[in-house]
Amino acid sequence: MSDATLSSAAATAPARSPSRARGESPVVQFVLIAVSLAFLLLFLLLPLVTVFIEAAAKGWEAYRAAITEPDALAAIRLTLLVAAIAVPFNIVVGIAAAWAVAKFEFPGKNLLISLIDLPFSVSPVISGLVFVLLFGAQGYLGPWLQANDLKIVFALPGLILATVFVTFPFVARELIPHMQSLGSSDEEAALTLGASPWRVFFSVTLPNVKWSLFYGVLLCNARAMGEFGAVAVVSGKIRGLTNTMPLHIEILYNEYMGAAAFAVASLLAGLALVTLVLKTLLEWHYGDVIAASRRH
Amino acid sequence: MTRPVYSRLLRAGLVLGAFTLCFGVVAGARAQTELLNVSYDPTRELYREINAAFIAEWNAKNPDKKISTIRQSHGGSGAQARTVIDGLNADVVTLALAGDIDAVAERSKKLPLDWQKRLPHNSSPYTSTIVFLVRKGNPKAIKDWGDLVKPGVQIITPNPKTSGGARWNYLAAWAYAEKAFNKDEAKVRDYIGKLLANVPVLDTGARGATTTFTQRGIGDVFLSWENEAFLALKEFGADKFDIVVPSLSILAEPPVALVDANVDAKKTREQAQAYLDFLYTPKGQAIIARNFYRPRNPEAADSKDVANFPKVELVTIDDVFGGWKKAQPTHFGDGGTFDQLYKPAR
């Protein structure tokens, strides 16, 4: 949510002329800027700084020990693995869905758009619980899975499913408006010139949308690594086995190991910072393209 | 015109998805020689020590059947039972109260209903009780259960629906009230209602409640497992909190059990059984006392650890409430006394 507000604020920032045209007095401008800056400092920057201060509270050695401890390493590895599977999956399916919505007219299109947004409107806890209901031992498919010795919930597949579910909208949501605004004339031209459908996709469509795709992937990845609620429900919280980084942070904190918890948290926060920097760079260089893609 | 691309893409997506699932299932089902102990919240430190000691002893004696790791999962006792029912592959469950393991036995049918008779002392290798943790100097002068219902006293206790410790808290308060009001049910209910009205927030597990009280600084008194209260003193220093022992409390028996269907499927019965038996050995009992749980066999423990435990009149759940099978539905089931008496603050 805050991501969306933040980036749209940032996207409109360079376009100063409209506000002048509306003739708002400099005082109003100043107050608005001051208020939003103060808010950002207080509610976003301050907590982030606290994470790093707390992480460093017991010194470098303790920090290093906290993030190289076997359970922490297992959590980091698991988080990366889940993201490495969930994000590519969502890229492929997200492109497919965006394509379908942007380039074709078909019955049920509005339903599809609403379905894409569904994970945003459903609480992550529920996203996790549905998988327990489906695949849990008491669930609909539970007995069959058990009879065949297959594990979904409380194991890696459950973590991936929950992450895929929660992060699905990011790629499609970024691509749809952009693809819609581009229309299909470029593709049609390429086809009439005799290009194969694959060639059209890789040489025309993909380059056209690459920045909004990249943007969507960034957001998708950040959420995939940071997801807590849905993952907590399907994880079973087995240390060193099904504990992702966010879950590991909570466990450490609950074991009175605050410095260690914040050390691992600082890694996640570091990831968020990298995402933020990349995003800012993108907006700086390709602000027009992304702004265009945001005209809903 | 672009339809073929779209359908091919979709197909590629489906294939990749199927591949992902298969990969995940294979990775998840890979066999490993390790045990999984699904436990409740405050036992983290206890089982870390028990696991290390047991693995060392077992591997020395059984070089051909070595255990690589004992995995731990912790959370509110009721919530943990729920995940085992939903299929978490626990070799052993070590929960806060018999009612939760009863629920696992009844719903998952993975262990017999009479599981509690299989190990000595009601399958509870250690006991504990409920005490009060207050801020240093006891500024609100809380001495006994009766002081908890004074206006303006904020009580921290977890949610009895999900936390085992909270159910012991609730029953200890109930037992006190029955004694104080001579079993006058209306007065008992009035007392419990007032007590619950003084609770600003119900955490899901004991450890969450401990951090609420100790780290977030909410509340005047924390109804706590004795072991959890001692641990808080150890972690934060005795200059921050005091332990208050009430005139009467309840003998909490956190039981342990083998999950038969799981150990048979994983072929770990022998190791899992030895793991539970280890808790009853002198070495296990000494570790138990060192982690502030009351050992069944105090002679095996360090006398300094045993001297920590205050003397307090303890009632048992069997005497006052007729056992968990009766207490659970009466007090904590849907529409039980807790549901009737708890009115969340508005």
DSSP B247-293: SEEE-B---EEE-HHHHHHHT-HHHHHHHHHHTTSHHHHHHHHHTTP
Q: To probe the interface with A, which of B83, B227, B241, B267 has the most A CB atoms within 10 Å?
A: B83
pLDDT of A283 reads 76
- Crossing angle of helices A59-68 and A258-293, in 10° steps, is 70
More confident residue, B8 or A143: A143
What is the nearest CA distance from B57 to chain A, expressed in angstroms? 22
Under 8 Å CB-to-CB from B70, ≥6 apart: which residues? B34, B35, B36, B37, B47, B51, B54, B55, B275
Cα-based distances in Å from A296 to A167, A180, A181: 20, 9, 9
Q: Which band of pLDDT confidence, cut at 50, 70 and 90, is reported for residue B28?
A: very low
Cα-based distances in Å from A207 to A29, A146, A187, B7: 38, 46, 12, 20
B4 with A138: Cβ contact below 8 A: no
d(CA B175, CA B188): 9
Which of A275-279, B217-221, B300-304 has the weakest average pLDDT? A275-279
Q: Answer whether residue A197 shows pLDDT above 90.
A: no
pLDDT digit string (tens) for B68-94? 999 999 988 888 999 999 999 999 999
Q: Is the distance from CB of A219 to CB of A119 less than 8 angstroms?
A: no
Which of A33-37, B69-73, B214-218, B314-318 has the weakest average pLDDT? B214-218
More confident residue, A147 or B253: B253
Q: Can you read off the two tokens belonging to residue A239? A: 């240390």
Q: Note the CATH number of domain B31-126+253-307.
A: 3.40.190.10
Q: Which band of pLDDT confidence, cut at 50, 70 and 90, is reported for residue B2?
A: very low
More confident residue, B12 or A229: A229
B29 with A149: Cβ contact below 8 A: yes
Q: Can you read off the two tokens belonging to residue B285? A: 């009992």
Q: What is the mean pLDDT of chain B?
A: 88
For CA atoms A6, A11, A13, A17, the dihedral sign is negative
The minimal CB distance from A99 to the residues B9, B36, B83 is found for: B9
Contacts of B234 in chain A (CB under 8 A): none
pLDDT of A1 reads 38
Q: Residue range B272-297: average pLDDT? A: 95
- Return residues 31-90 of A near B (CB < 8 Å): 85, 88-89
Residue ranges in chain A assigned as alpha helix (H): 2-12, 17-22, 26-40, 46-55, 59-68, 70-103, 109-121, 124-135, 142-147, 156-167, 169-182, 185-192, 197-200, 206-226, 229-235, 245-254, 258-293
Which of B8-22, B199-213, B287-301 has the weakest average pLDDT? B8-22
- Crossing angle of helices B44-61 and B282-290, in 10° steps, is 160
Number of H helices, E strands in chain B: 15, 12
Q: Answer whether residue B27 shows pLDDT above 50.
A: no
- Return residues 72-91 of B near A (CB < 8 Å): 72-75, 83, 85-89
Q: Answer whether residue B248 shows pLDDT above 60.
A: yes
What is the nearest CA distance from B105 to chain A, expressed in angstroms? 13
pLDDT digit string (tens) for B100-146? 999 999 999 999 999 999 999 999 999 999 999 999 999 999 999 99
Check if A188 contacts B (Cβ < 8 Å): yes
Cα-based distances in Å from A82 to A226, B129, B186: 11, 42, 55
- In B, minimum Cα distance to A154 occurs at B88
CATH 3.40.190.10, chain B: domain bounds: 31-126+253-307, 130-250+316-341
pLDDT of B70 reads 94
pLDDT of B331 reads 94
The minimal CB distance from A138 to the residues B6, B86, B215 is found for: B86
pLDDT of B162 reads 84
Q: Answer whether residue B56 shows pLDDT above 80.
A: yes
pLDDT digit string (tens) for B192-220? 999 999 998 888 888 889 988 988 889 99
- In B, minimum Cα distance to A189 occurs at B1
Q: Answer whether residue A15 shows pLDDT above 50.
A: no
Q: Note the CATH number of domain B130-250+316-341.
A: 3.40.190.10
DSSP state of A88: H
Q: Note the CATH number of domain A2-293.
A: 1.10.3720.10
Could you tell me the residue ranges of all domains in chain A?
Answer: 2-293
pLDDT digit string (tens) for A111-134? 988 899 899 888 888 989 999 988
- In B, minimum Cα distance to A250 occurs at B208
Under 8 Å CB-to-CB from B199, ≥6 apart: which residues? B154, B155, B156, B157
d(CA A142, CA B109): 14
Q: Which band of pLDDT confidence, cut at 50, 70 and 90, is reported for residue A26?
A: confident
pLDDT of A284 reads 80
More confident residue, B120 or A275: B120
Q: Can you read off the two tokens belonging to residue B212? A: 């609420």
- In A, minimum Cα distance to B233 occurs at A256
